[in-house]
Amino acid sequence: MITADLTGRVALVTGGASGIGLATVRRLAACGARVAINDLASNPKLADVEVQLGREGFDAIAVPGSVGNPDDANAVVEAAVQRFGRLDYLVNNAGTSETAAPIPPQDLDRLGEEFWREILSVNLVGPFRCTRAAAPHLKAARGAVVNTASTAGYGYPGSSMAYAASKAGLMNLTTNLARGLAPQVRVNAVAPGMIRTPWTIRFGQDWEDRSVEMTSLKRVGAPDDIAEVILFLLAGAGYVTGQTIRVDGGMG
């Protein structure tokens, strides 16, 4: 297991109340970081996570808001900095599929204007909003950003073509943000394959089984598998920037 001493460091994790986000929050907190946990204000898990982490002795606060809203994105970053006084790491993990079941590529009629607008606003523009707001603080700390993309961005099956396009765009955005924030800030991304989370469970066992069959390791991924790579890209990997690391069990 990768570990690091992050005492005195501050991280903001969007979409941090469950799944990959929560695993990342826990990993960073266990390494000594103070963590601001963002999720939707309507998500009751956010307050529960804040309370639980406090009981476990971690220094973590909830900063509710939607990264799909420009004002919220700015406010979330500002709240984290006001509470902790600095910001070293940003994990842009918040995302949406906007569907409870995968939409096949042939079903174009289900991909309406509002569907596209919400997915792009949260999955693609959201990370840009948060990074732009955080940039001065990250530069001062010589920090790092990690974006959560997806193997869907490489053309593998995803929840919809709109979702896949948003993640492909996020990979490109990662490369360009790395150029824009250099040399003070490194920006990378992870591209998870099939990870068992509350989100993916909705798609059913058949979906998971088919995804696992595509992998070399023949197992479903866990949120901790992704959190470990995110920690590596934040706290280590000092000469790595502008890259997207596939964490997919060897999808072929």
pLDDT digits (tens, 9 = 90+) for 131-185: 999 999 999 999 999 999 999 999 987 899 999 999 999 999 999 999 999 999 9
| Separation CA 35–CA 9 (nearest Å) | 9
φ/ψ (deg, to 5) at 52? -65, -45
Helices 44-55 and 19-30: crossing angle in degrees, nearest 10, is 20
Q: What is the pLDDT of residue 101?
A: 87
Catalytic residue among 89, 154, 163, 239: 163
Helix, strand, coil content of the chain in percent (nearest 5)? 50, 15, 40
Per-residue b or e along 48-62, where b marks 16 or more CB atoms closer than 10 Å to that residue's CB: ebbeebeeeebebbb
Residue 100, pLDDT > 90, answer: no
- Closest alpha carbon to 128 in 87, 77, 165, 164: 77
Angle at 217 between CA 224 and CA 166, to 5 degrees: 60
Question: Is there a catalytic annotation at residue 163?
Answer: yes
Please state the domain extents for the chain: 10-246
Q: What fold, for 10-246?
A: Rossmann fold (3.40.50)
pLDDT at 203: 73
Of the candidates 25, 161, 185, 5, which has an alpha carbon nearest to the alpha carbon of residue 91?
Answer: 25
For the entire predicted model, the pTM comes to: 0.95
Phi, psi values for residue 73, rounded to 5°: -60, -45
Q: How high is the pLDDT of residue 32?
A: 98
Q: Residue 57 — very low, low, confident or very high, per pLDDT cuts 50/70/90?
A: very high
Nearest CA among 97, 38, 108, 89 for reference residue 67: 38
Residue 226's CB is within 10 A of a number of other CB atoms, namely 28
Q: From the CB of residue 135, how many other CB atoms can be counted at a distance below 10 Å?
A: 20
